[in-house]
Chain A
Amino acid sequence: MTPTDDQDRPEVRAEGGHGAVPIEGVPTHAPRRTRDWPLWEVFVRGKRGLSHTHAGSLHAPDATMALRNARDLYTRRSEGVSIWVVPAAQVTASSPDEKDAFFDPAADKAYRHPTFYDIPDEVQHL
């Protein structure tokens, strides 16, 4: 690797999908061989009728290969019927610094929870 490679590389931060982990200064590329493979976030839908759920992340050279790597890493025990991959750099995550303003105001508003209703047994995924 020549020094110019590093300078030319666009700055990418590992923020997508990682929630509480640091979002600044975390390299999305290992220093050498992986430098050209961006990070992808993987969402797997487990069963028909359920939504896609974040399964993890992986490196891949492009979206097509990311889907295939996701198939090998996250669905090899029949976990899924559908996979989405999203460039990690395209995920905008909430910042831990904003946690209080974002989430605390909801903590004491019990009336927002459906605890005052009788849920029919037939409703599976509420």
Chain B
Amino acid sequence: MPALARYALALGDDALVLSHRFGEWVSRAPQLEEDVALANIGLDLLGQGRSLLTYAGEVEGQGRDEDALAYLREERDYLSCHLVELENGDFAFTIARMLVFSTYQHALYSALSSSTDPMLAAVAAKAVKEVDYHRDHATEWTLRLGDGTDESHHRMQAAVDEVRKYADELFDTAWIPVELLESGAAVDVSALHDGCRRSWESVLECATLSLPEVVPAVGGGRRGVHDVRMGYLLAEMQHLHRSHPGASW
């Protein structure tokens, strides 16, 4: 697969997999209003995933469309990071992950919107406003849960501690093809880390929470190495299309 296709695929897989996790909240959120909010955020991510997967398929030139890439790839062919695969856990965990990931995505898409690749730049320019809202939503909830009751504070800090282990993988540049970094098509994500960290810390501080120093999780998502939970996610996401090939409505 060409380097550009692989890059678009990895970014698209992040969005697609996390959109599935948000979809799992539907009918289970603490409030009807929050149910709709989480579904909206999931749909934003699904839209980003569709655009990026479609583009990856076009660049690859093997005739694979978004459905073929989303539903007919095996687990080892998925390039998503581990953070987006993690199970939803409690509401605090979902919020902590949203805060960390949307801050990263906002920095990523802001930089990618001036990519030398016009398609990536266009997708990013549209998506940056969407993830800005996701970041806002996560921020408001982090403030309320962190600076809420003893129970919510405890759960929120525990969630931040867990999510933090998976954050480093987002800023790993090793998997990004050098020619894409040199041509300015891809973003050097390692340069985004310090800004994201400051952003997380400012929110967490207001929420009476802290960003812990942790031993990072092993990672490997960009090489197609995933945790066991990814298999269950893909089974649920792909089974309809695989049972009824070409199903549409």
Binding site for B on A (CB under 8 A): 33-34, 37, 58-61, 64-65, 68-69, 72-73, 76
Contact = CB atoms under 8 A, between A and B. Distances in A.
A33 B30 contact: yes
A2 to B, nearest CB: 15
Contacts of B37: 68-69, 72
Chain B residues touching A, majority SS? helix
Nearest to A61: B144
A43 B144 CA distance: 25
Nearest to A69: B33
Nearest to B33: A69
B40 A65 contact: no
B31 interface: yes
B136 interface: yes
Nearest to A65: B140
Nearest to A33: B30
- The 9 A-B pairs of least Cβ separation, nearest first, read A69-B33, A72-B37, A72-B36, A72-B40, A58-B33, A73-B36, A59-B33, A65-B140, A59-B31
A69 B133 CA distance: 12
27 contacts: A33-B30, A33-B31, A34-B31, A37-B31, A58-B33, A59-B31, A59-B32, A59-B33, A60-B33, A61-B144, A64-B140, A65-B144, A68-B37, A68-B136, A68-B137, A68-B140, A69-B33, A69-B34, A69-B36, A69-B37, A72-B33, A72-B36, A72-B37, A72-B40, A73-B33, A73-B36, A76-B40
Contacts of B33: 58-60, 69, 72-73
Contacts of A37: 31
Interface residues on B, range: 10 to 19
B32 to A, nearest CB: 8
Which of A33, A37, A72, A76 has its CB near the most chain B CB atoms (within 10 A)? A72
Contacts of A65: 140, 144
A20 B144 CA distance: 36
A69 B206 CA distance: 22
